């Protein structure tokens, strides 16, 4: 982090900089090292420093977070553009992202390894735990949050076609998310409450997933 970024992080979150959205608009148009180098000061001042300040402001309630690197992993991708067109940060199972499309706030499990999927389906199959999850998701939707996650097109092998929670059994990932397009509040301290309110709404879901799915036992590749 640069000295200016450190100062901004300790000054408190006052919103993302006025140049944040334009920075990502420009990066989408010219995703090159030359453009990045030319505009890096805008990224550091209008994007990264405010994101660091936002995480610092949320840390007392949600814990310490980290900002993802702006460089894309292109080793196994046909798309060789070098830079991400958003800035994302995570606090455990919680996630926040700013980009040309505005603000995205989410929490849950974006991906689950096979052993996690197996534990998830075992919990969903259980009448008590599965019904609890249904109630949690209904409350999340009532708060205006969208439920997402990769699903099978057909029912999992061995699952009764009449299972009362068949739609949930199809999930291979499960998370909630809400987005806001670019607006004035993005550049004000009030956008912190947007992030916090979504994370609070999704806290029961993340706790359910922590309790019944947990981390993967499989070694990382």
pLDDT digits (tens, 9 = 90+) for 127-161: 999 999 999 999 999 999 999 999 999 999 999 99
Residue 76: pLDDT band (50, 70, 90) is confident
Q: For residue 211, what pLDDT is reported?
A: 97
Above 60 in pLDDT, residue 57? yes
DSSP helix, strand, coil percent of the chain (3-state; round to 5): 50, 15, 35
Pairing of strands 86-91, 66-67: antiparallel
Q: For residue 219, what pLDDT is reported?
A: 66
d(CA 42, CA 36): 10
Least-confidence region, from 41-50, 65-74, 175-184: 65-74
Residue 39's Cα: distance from chain center in Å?
A: 25
Provide CB contacts within 8 A for 191, sequence distance 6+: 15, 16, 103, 180, 185
164: β partners: none
Residue 1: pLDDT band (50, 70, 90) is very low
pTM: 0.91
Nearest to 67 by CA among 26, 97, 40, 32: 97
For residues 88-105, give the mean pLDDT: 97
Residue 26's Cα: distance from chain center in Å?
A: 23
């Amino acid at each position: 982090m640069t000295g200016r970024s450190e100062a901004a992080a300790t000054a408190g979150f006052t919103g993302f900089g006025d140049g944040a959205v334009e920075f990502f608009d420009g990066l989408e148009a010219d995703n090159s090292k030359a453009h990045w180098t030319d505009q890096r000061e805008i990224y550091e001042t209008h994007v990264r420093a405010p994101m660091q300040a936002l995480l610092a402001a949320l840390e007392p309630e949600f814990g310490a977070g980290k900002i993802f690197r702006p460089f894309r992993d292109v080793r196994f991708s046909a798309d060789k553009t070098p830079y991400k067109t958003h800035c994302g940060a995570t606090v455990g199972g919680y996630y926040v992202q700013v980009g040309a499309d505005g603000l995205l706030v989410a929490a849950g499990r974006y991906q689950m390894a096979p052993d996690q999927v197996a534990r998830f389906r075992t919990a969903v199959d259980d009448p008590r735990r599965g019904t609890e999850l249904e109630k949690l998701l209904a409350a999340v939707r009532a708060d205006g949050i969208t439920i997402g996650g990769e699903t099978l097109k057909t029912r999992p092998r061995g699952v009764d076609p009449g299972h009362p929670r068949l739609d949930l059994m199809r999930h291979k990932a499960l998370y909630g998310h809400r987005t806001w397009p670019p607006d004035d509040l993005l550049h004000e301290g009030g956008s912190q409450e947007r992030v916090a309110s979504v994370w609070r709404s999704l806290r029961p879901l993340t706790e359910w997933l922590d309790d019944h799915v947990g981390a993967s036992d499989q070694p990382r590749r």
